[in-house]
Amino acid sequence: MTTPALLPLSGRRIPTLSPGASSFPHHRATLRLSEKFILLLILSAFITLCFGAFFFLPDSSKHKRFDLGLEDVLIPHIESGKEGPGQRAVLARGWRTRPDGDTEEEESLRDKIRADHERALQEAKQKLRKSKKALLHEIQTEKARVAQELKKKDVPRSLPPVPMPKLVGVNDGDPGEPDVKEKRDKIREMMKHAWDSYRQYGWGHNELKPIAKKGHSTNIFGNSQMGATIVDALDTLYIMGLHDEFKDGQEWIEQNLDFSVNAEVSVFEVNIRFIGGLLAAYYLSGQEVFKAKAVQLAEKLLPAFNTPTGIPWAMVNLKSGVGRNWGWASAGSSILAEFGTLHMEFVHLTYLTGNPAYYQKVMHIRKLLAKMDRPNGLYPNYLNPRTGRWGQHHTSVGGLGDSFYEYLLKAWLMSDRTDAEARKTYDDAIEAIERHLIRKSNGGLTFIGEWKNGHLERKMGHLTCFAGGMFALGADGSPGDKAGHYLQLGAEIAHTCHESYDRTVLKLGPEAFKFDSGLEAVAVRQNEKYYILRPEVIETYWYMWRFTHDPKYRQWGWEAAQAIDKYCRVGGGFSGVKDVYSSNPTYDDVQQSFFLAETLKYLYLLFSSDELLPLESWVFNTEAHPLPVLRLANATMPGSQAKR
Ligand code: DMJ
């Protein structure tokens, strides 16, 4: 269209001008210039018009589609005499094409477009008048606003209100007798030292290096800095009445605990320490923030269950949701004590949120295990989440197996003893364990060994010592007339584990001890002689104390507390020791978060009255976080049809 209009400007027509033109070359040239100028003006006016028409005229094709769409929806109803919902309003607004092809709405649409253009132009002009500094400031403010919005999206929707279970026994637990009170005060002082040191040197880090006086973390938390010690310690602080410290921890959680981190964490550890810790803090204090954070974190763990079998991966990346298993685990397996230690927390999550997903995930695991063959009735520690087959046939009530059995029993207790399936599974498993793994040493010590490919290894781990408490806790409700038997078994394990402490120089227990070749409850290998502030032996003392009130359990607990204070206490907190048989121990320089969550809590409870957190109303998760019994006798959990 433009090309023909430009042709006259070329030199080809100039020779055809009037004869006089040659005698007035300059004038002729002037005339030609004015001519060009006028043509140029006309041309630009024409182009402007075209552009104007292009931008300002409404897109009739869109209108056609819109009309068609509405008619498609409405006309069948009109013709059939049935008016669709809202149809009258649509017709009244006149969204039909008039015969002249123009509607009032089209006109008003055009006006609106014009007005919008005008406003945008004005805004742009105003912006350009501003200084560079003011513009930069505006951009920053806008960026901050968007970031804030995005953050808000991460906060879970407000959760449905649920009836709070009746909380019994959240009190001071004053033991009465002054000498017991004095011991309890000492434990509280130890907690203060551990907490204050972490507060000063490791705040916000997962754990503390009490000698180097700086933060510490292990691979179970990936490269995150999620304040594991704060979350793990909260309920202990609360129970001990350390309310300023509790508030301090709460504030940190409110302001800093963020799970949108690119970190690959252990699903099990994060569940028992973080979710368990947050839920317990929520129930004890009633502060909503803990519940909200627990749910936020739980949502981040759910992708770990996306495996062919629904058996979760051991680790999950909190940001990407990608899961995998530990490289050292038999043939890419998941670990029994890891995928089998989710039930308590996940049932509470469903209870608190009304979201059946958590309950369904753990019930699916239970159903799947129930269908599998078990060698000698025993559960191997390894299960491949891709194939659903057992890995190496290695069974343990210590590391890799322990809390799986614990959670079967506690699922039953937590359900107000209604989850009969859990109780039966526990009873069957314990029966097989007694038959194949529990023996008496030549010196008369009852121990729990490990089953490895058809033979019994006569070695017991510090971790296994928790089982004394478990047997005592499960005694009431055991099949037949075996309550006395299991209480006795608990007492025997407590005694054996006490021996493992008593036979060392430091009066602290080794990581593993043997019952072989004349050895009784002592460690042999150098790398089994360490004590890393673990709770299991003290945990068993506490359960045994609650069920028997035999004073020896308080006595043994006090011996352990004194040994910890004497040999593990350093300027910057408490440290593990590398050799409990050496009078001159070296430190491992780690203050484990479970020392505050479990070891000190069980000691404190040991020197408190039974009215503090009674076992009829509270069930402690495997990290010693108390969760209330859910008395749902006539109710069913949302989604109680287990599915993935
Ligand atoms: C804790 O994290 C838990 O008790 C877990 O079940 C096993 N071991 C550590 C403490 O030893």
Share of the chain above pLDDT 70, in %: 79
Spatial contact of 38 and 31, defined as CB atoms under 8 Å apart: no
Name the binding residues: 622
Would you say the CB of residue 594 lies under 6 angstroms from ligand 1? yes
Mutate to test the pocket of ligand 1, among 534, 542, 590 (most ligand atoms within 8 A of CB): 534
> Relative to the CA of 536, which ligand 1 atom is closest?
11
Spatial contact of 587 and 596, defined as CB atoms under 8 Å apart: no
* Confidence band for 132, pLDDT divided at 50, 70 and 90: confident
Name the binding residues for Ca(2+): 622
Would you say the CB of residue 450 lies under 6 angstroms from ligand 1? no
> Relative to the CA of 624, which ligand 1 atom is closest?
4
In the residue annotation, 511 being an active-site residue is answered as yes
Would you say the CB of residue 285 lies under 6 angstroms from ligand 1? no
Catalytic residue among 299, 345, 450, 536: 536
Q: What is the mean pLDDT of residues 188-206?
A: 98
User: What's the Cα-to-Cα distance from 455 to each of 395, 437, 449, 587, 601, rounded to whole Å?
Assistant: 10, 10, 10, 35, 37
In the residue annotation, 536 being an active-site residue is answered as yes
How far is C-alpha 349 from the geometric centre of its chain's CA atoms?
11
Say how many CA atoms lie within 13 Å of 618 toward its Cβ. Answer: 21
Of all protein residues, whose CA lies closest to atom 3 belonging to ligand 1? 623
> Relative to the CA of 462, which ligand 1 atom is closest?
11
Least confident of 80-84, 333-337, 448-452: 80-84
Spatial contact of 613 and 169, defined as CB atoms under 8 Å apart: yes
Query: 536 by DSSP, 3-state: which?
Result: helix
> Which pLDDT does position 119 carry in this prediction?
81
**Average model confidence (pLDDT) across the chain:** 85
Of all protein residues, whose CA lies closest to atom 11 belonging to ligand 1? 534
Would you say the CB of residue 486 lies under 6 angstroms from ligand 1? no
> Which pLDDT does position 136 carry in this prediction?
77
Residue 47 scores a pLDDT above 50: yes
* Confidence band for 323, pLDDT divided at 50, 70 and 90: very high
Distance 134 CA to ligand 1 centre (A): 56
Compute how many other C-beta atoms are within 10 angstroms of the C-beta atom of residue 391.
Answer: 19
Would you say the CB of residue 346 lies under 6 angstroms from ligand 1? no
Spatial contact of 423 and 429, defined as CB atoms under 8 Å apart: no
Phi and psi (nearest 5°) for 334? -90, 160
Mutate to test the pocket of ligand 1, among 221, 339, 403 (most ligand atoms within 8 A of CB): 403
> Which pLDDT does position 158 carry in this prediction?
62
Spatial contact of 163 and 154, defined as CB atoms under 8 Å apart: no
* Confidence band for 44, pLDDT divided at 50, 70 and 90: low
> Relative to the CA of 466, which ligand 1 atom is closest?
4
Mutate to test the pocket of ligand 1, among 229, 272, 470 (most ligand atoms within 8 A of CB): 272
Distance 536 CA to ligand 1 centre (A): 8
In the residue annotation, 118 being an active-site residue is answered as no
Residue 231 scores a pLDDT above 80: yes
* Confidence band for 596, pLDDT divided at 50, 70 and 90: very high
Residue 109 scores a pLDDT above 90: no
304-326 exposure pattern, b = at least 16 Cβ within 10 A, e = fewer: bbebebbbbbbbbbbeeeebebb
Would you say the CB of residue 623 lies under 6 angstroms from ligand 1? yes
> Which pLDDT does position 80 carry in this prediction?
31
Would you say the CB of residue 446 lies under 6 angstroms from ligand 1? no
Distance 594 CA to ligand 1 centre (A): 7
In the residue annotation, 269 being an active-site residue is answered as yes
Q: What is the mean pLDDT of residues 375-391?
A: 97
Both tokens of residue 297? 């974190």
pTM summary value: 0.77
Of 149 and 391, which is predicted with more confidence? 391
Cα 261 to Cα 320: distance, rounded to the nearest angstrom: 9
